[in-house]
Amino acid sequence: MIKKILKACCVVAISLLLVGCSGEQQEGAAADGLIGQLIVTGSSTIAPLAGEIAKRFEQEHPGTRIDVQSGGSSRGIADVRRGTADIGMVSRQLNPDEIDLVAYPIARDGVAVILHRDNPLQALSEDQIVAIYTGSVTRWSEIGGADAPITVVNKAEGRSTLELFLSHFKLRNEDIRPSVIIGDNQQGIRTVAADPNAIGYVSIGTAAFEVTRGTPIKALPMDAVEATLESVRNGSFPLSRPLHLVTLPEAGAGAGAARAESAALIQAFIEYAASSQVDDLTEAQYFVPLAH
């Protein structure tokens, strides 16, 4: 009988303790007014960084949940417009037809042409890159490389990396003669790493990270400027870009807003992502932090 009473007392005590802890957590979460969930979708270049920022933000604000999903910059823009995402990730400047959105820069990156590490070529001119991607040159031996066919790896429609590449080289997507069409940066890197005759283009940050892991790729210089984070930082690399979070002008007040406090949460997350508090995360993902 005594054992049963003691057991019952323990259960009650534990229950009270759990209720108390839960209450304390809720009070802590509510103290700064940040409670709720955000959906962030878009650029596969930004997604890994946004995911790390989201984890730290959630730790500092226990009442929040930030769901980060990739899918390309176009998805981020479309999702924000139709209210299925609170924030979009866009790894380029906004276009003239996207002025209905507000863009907030959080870092900088570049786009590098990459080859397999075993390809003997150490550089390509812009004319050679255009010739390869438009099908005028189809074998590496035509430009001083091995006697092998070139595997042309191109990005799928809706990827901001593709848009930047086309803009820089003054091409249209219909001009490209691809052997393989890929989606995100990781897929592009895996494709080139698996094929000594492949050529592709990806985020400099992603490429730099993969090189440190021993992935058999190399990033080519452009206009004699090395494809490094430092050249992106000092503005000398020709193919560089801002990484943005985008929202509607009155984020949280229109369609897709799950709760009244979402506007404050959206603004708080964006400000946090652009702050010096996450510079270490930005650098760990091999991007260039903003100047503060």
The model scores a pTM over 0.75: yes
CB 177 within 8 A of CB 134: yes
Angle between helices 47-60 and 262-273 (to 10 degrees): 120
Q: What pLDDT sits at residue 31? A: 56
Residue 172 banded pLDDT, cuts 50, 70, 90: very high
pLDDT at 17 over 90: no
Matching fold, domains 35-107+242-289 and 109-240: yes
CB 287 within 8 A of CB 105: no
CA-wise closest residue to 251 among 51, 101, 144, 78: 101
CATH of 35-107+242-289, one of 3.30.365.10, 3.30.565.10, 3.40.190.10, 3.40.980.10: 3.40.190.10
* Closest of 27, 37, 84, 87 to residue 57, by C-alpha: 37
Q: In whole angstroms, what is the distance from residue 24 CA to residue 27 CA? A: 5
Q: Residue 261: its pLDDT value, please?
A: 66
For residue 225, what pLDDT is reported? 95
In this prediction, residue 123 carries a pLDDT of: 96
Residue spans per domain, the chain:
35-107+242-289, 109-240
3-class state of residue 97 by DSSP: helix
The label of the residue with tokens 């592709």 reads 200
Q: Which of 20-24, 69-73, 93-97 has the lowest mean pLDDT?
A: 20-24
How many alpha carbons fall within 13 Å on the CB side of residue 134? 14
- The phi, psi pair for 59, rounded to 5°, reads -65, -40
Residue 32: its pLDDT value, please? 64
Higher-confidence residue of 59 and 206: namely 59
What are the residues facing 250 on neighbouring strands? none
pLDDT at 7 over 60: no
Strands 64-70, 151-155: pairing kind? unpaired
Would you state the pLDDT for residue 34? 85
Q: Does domain 109-240 have CATH number 3.90.190.20?
A: no
159 pLDDT band, cuts 50/70/90, is confident
Arithmetic mean of pLDDT, 20-31: 45
**What would the pLDDT profile of 122-157 be if each residue is shown by its tens digit?**
999 999 999 999 999 999 999 999 999 999 999 998
Confidence of residue 160 (pLDDT cuts 50, 70, 90): confident
